[in-house]
């Protein structure tokens, strides 16, 4: 046997021997669901397959997130059977090298244990999961509330209930830097990597936006308006209502004419944020129903609760008022709540307003006895705007 042939045979035997030592191959890392925990007997999750005895390894439709990954043989870190790299989507692996930086997507992956060449072939674009997390959020510090995106850059949440507390944005349900952000400004600002949580001062139902590139964020209430040929803007321009909590919306002394009126969100017909109905002066609105029929021209006070769909549309110029002997409010002053009682007709709605005229509490009970929560309000003077089917009245309130 000549020397060249002998050398070739030795090389083949060496390669075969080396590859025979690789019983399995897997992709591991925080970009592939997490690093191995080193528990005895642990089998790596994303096992690759081979059709030629361990020279070429493949795995298809592997979901990766932003992070890093490595190739690992035999479910072990034993050298030389773990490899990192420096480039993505393809490159040459390095024994015991740093993790290969991964980008969110679905990939077909190949790895050659002879040449150490690897490729990540993109099959489908996926976007990083961005969520809100903290004691101000629905999941507190336990469960992330995921945002939605159509481009992997602008993330949004609509009508999410927040309470006073702290909130952070974070990626892939993890504190991995640089994908966790806090901040100091509210209701809008620029997030800061690894900063303290953003303080949410007031409970409410918020629309939240976050730009992963610029780190700009905002917390706003959904726009609720009245729309229709009975309204000032007819079927052309929305008339926006006001809110202090993103749930209770009001309009005071708005001029209406005979015709139809609907409530809708964000100046759009997008369901479920458009409502109509049939009952006046109050009731429960119905999604995508015909508009309310306003019977006569005049100035009206309008209330709408997005969460319950309860509404009230009453004349602002009603001349009837409650008979004082048949109506009472107690205790007044109050520490925790006011009780409103009417002996002759149902109370359709109650709006609690501060001295600046801003509505801070609303009730749509259609009952002769109504309790309105006063806890959480600062001490001072407030007013209750009370409506029945026959009229309205305003009562001065004191909060201890």
Q: How many residues does the chain have?
A: 400
CATH architecture of structural domain 324-399: Sandwich (2.60)
Q: What CATH number has the domain spanning 130-221?
A: 2.60.40.3620
Q: What's residue 15's pLDDT?
A: 44
Kindly state the helix (H) or strand (E) to which residue 233 belongs, with its residue range: none
pLDDT band at 2 (very low <50, low <70, confident <90, very high): low
Q: What is the separation, in whole angstroms, between the first and last Cα of the chain?
A: 105
Tens digits of residue pLDDT in 133-153: 999 999 999 999 999 998 888
Residue 9 clears pLDDT 70, i.e. is over it: no
Fold of 3-124: Immunoglobulin-like (2.60.40)
CATH 2.60.40.3620, applies to 224-315: yes
Weakest mean pLDDT among 72-86, 304-318, 319-333: 319-333
Task: Report yes or no: 171 and 126 within 8 Å, Cβ to Cβ.
Answer: no
Domain boundaries, given as residue ranges, for the chain: 3-124, 130-221, 224-315, 324-399
With b for 16 or more beta-carbon neighbours within 10 A and e for fewer, the 137-157 pattern comes to: beeeeeebbebebeebebbeb
Q: What's residue 319's pLDDT?
A: 41
Give 193 or 125, the one with higher predicted confidence.
Answer: 193
For 280, residues 6+ apart whose C-beta sits below 8 A from its C-beta are: 292, 293, 294, 295, 313
pTM of this prediction? 0.54
C-alpha 181/C-alpha 173 separation (Å) is 12
Give 69 or 295, the one with higher predicted confidence.
Answer: 69
For 353, residues 6+ apart whose C-beta sits below 8 A from its C-beta are: 359, 360, 382, 383, 384, 385
Cα Rg of the chain (Å, integer): 32
Assign 3-state DSSP to the chain and report helix, strand, coil percentages, each to 5: 5, 50, 45
Q: What's residue 259's pLDDT?
A: 93
Q: What's residue 315's pLDDT?
A: 83
Tens digits of residue pLDDT in 43-62: 999 999 999 999 999 999 99
pLDDT band at 18 (very low <50, low <70, confident <90, very high): very low
Task: Report yes or no: 61 and 92 within 8 Å, Cβ to Cβ.
Answer: no
Tens digits of residue pLDDT in 153-173: 899 999 899 999 999 999 999
Q: What's residue 325's pLDDT?
A: 47
Q: Do domains 130-221 and 224-315 have the same CATH topology?
A: yes
């Amino acid at each position: 046997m000549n020397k060249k042939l002998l050398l070739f045979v030795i090389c083949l035997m060496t390669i075969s021997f080396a590859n025979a030592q690789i019983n399995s191959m897997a992709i591991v890392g925080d970009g592939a669901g997490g690093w191995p925990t080193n528990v005895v007997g642990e089998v790596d999750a994303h096992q690759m397959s081979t059709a030629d005895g361990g020279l070429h390894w493949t795995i298809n439709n592997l979901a990766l997130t932003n992070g890093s990954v490595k190739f690992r043989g035999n479910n072990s870190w034993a050298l030389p059977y773990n490899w990192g790299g420096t480039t993505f989507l393809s490159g040459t692996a390095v024994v015991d090298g740093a993790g290969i930086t991964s980008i969110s997507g679905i990939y077909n992956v190949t790895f050659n244990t002879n040449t150490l060449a690897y490729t990540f072939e993109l099959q489908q674009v996926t976007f990083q999961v961005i969520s809100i997390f903290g004691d101000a959020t629905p999941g507190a510090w336990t469960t992330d509330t995921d945002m939605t995106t159509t481009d992997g850059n602008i993330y949004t949440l609509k009508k999410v209930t927040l309470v006073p507390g702290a909130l952070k944005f974070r990626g892939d349900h993890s504190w991995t830097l640089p994908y966790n952000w806090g901040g100091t400004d509210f209701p809008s600002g620029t997030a800061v990597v690894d900063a303290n949580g953003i303080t949410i001062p007031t409970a409410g139902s918020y629309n939240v936006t976050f730009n992963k590139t610029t780190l700009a964020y905002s917390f706003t209430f959904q726009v609720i308006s009245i729309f229709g040929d009975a309204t000032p803007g007819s079927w052309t321009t929305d008339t926006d209502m006001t809110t202090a909590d993103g749930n209770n919306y009001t309009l005071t002394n708005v001029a209406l004419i005979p015709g139809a009126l609907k409530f809708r969100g964000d100046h759009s017909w997008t369901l479920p944020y458009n409502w109509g109905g049939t009952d006046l002066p109050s009731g429960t609105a119905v999604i995508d129903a015909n508009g309310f029929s306003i019977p006569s021209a005049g100035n009206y006070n309008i209330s709408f609760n997005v969460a319950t769909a309860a509404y009230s549309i009453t004349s602002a110029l009603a001349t009837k008022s409650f008979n004082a002997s048949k109506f009472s409010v107690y205790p007044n002053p109050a520490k925790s709540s006011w009780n409103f009682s009417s002996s002759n007709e149902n109370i359709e709605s109650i709006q609690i307003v501060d001295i600046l005229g801003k509505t801070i509490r609303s009730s749509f009970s259609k009952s002769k006895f109504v309790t309105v929560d006063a806890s959480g309000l600062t001490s001072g003077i407030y007013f209750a705007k009370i409506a029945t089917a026959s009229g309205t009245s305003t009562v001065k309130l004191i909060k201890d």
